[in-house]
Amino acid sequence: MMNDYIIAEIPKEAGFTQQYYRIGALKKTNDKWSVESPKQADIDKDGKNDWTAESFTCGKCHAPGIETGSPSYGVSCESCHGPGGNHVSATDKKGTMSPEVAKTSCNNCHESNPSKDDQGNYTANTHYGTRNYFASKHAQSSQLNQCLTCHTTHKANTSGSLLPTDNPTDNCVKCHAGKTFDLD
């Protein structure tokens, strides 16, 4: 979905509240492409919907290169690792990202400051809804290497998740051998 958006940078002097807006989306149906508006409203009150723009606040996480001027608009090395100069100038390349920096990098988009909803469930500030991870023994354990205990950083599995195995329960068995899991 993010790869289908048409984004426009708005000059500051234009007076808009955001710097970037979604002004369209590409849609493919069978072998034909079309451009659709991100939002429609009857702005001029003529009884017909007008093409309008939609805020592109999702770019901070889904297309960080747009705001930083990176040659790669999507999620790239510098999105998580910071400026590449640190790595280039380092003698020991492995030491350019500490576990604490890694945790902070993940939290830039995957915030770890949940709140409780009316039913007392923890809710993460992501698109994925309610998660109980933050209140779990995993989150409280000093044995885990934060996100990297269960997640990979550079290689997705066959379903596109940043997990080292295709079956999520196979990932759990690394620490919990002999247990059965129902992740649903």
pLDDT tens string 89-119: 777 766 566 666 666 677 777 765 556 667 7
* 137: CB partners within 8 A, 6+ apart: none
What local confidence, expressed as pLDDT, does residue 88 receive? 75
Q: What is the mean pLDDT of residues 13-22?
A: 88
Entry pTM: 0.56
pLDDT tens string 137-152: 676 666 665 677 788 8
Using alpha carbons, select from 86, 94, 97, 104 the residue that is nearest to residue 146.
104
Using alpha carbons, select from 155, 125, 150 the residue that is nearest to residue 139.
150
Backbone phi and psi for residue 15, each to the nearest 5 degrees, phi listed first: 85, 15
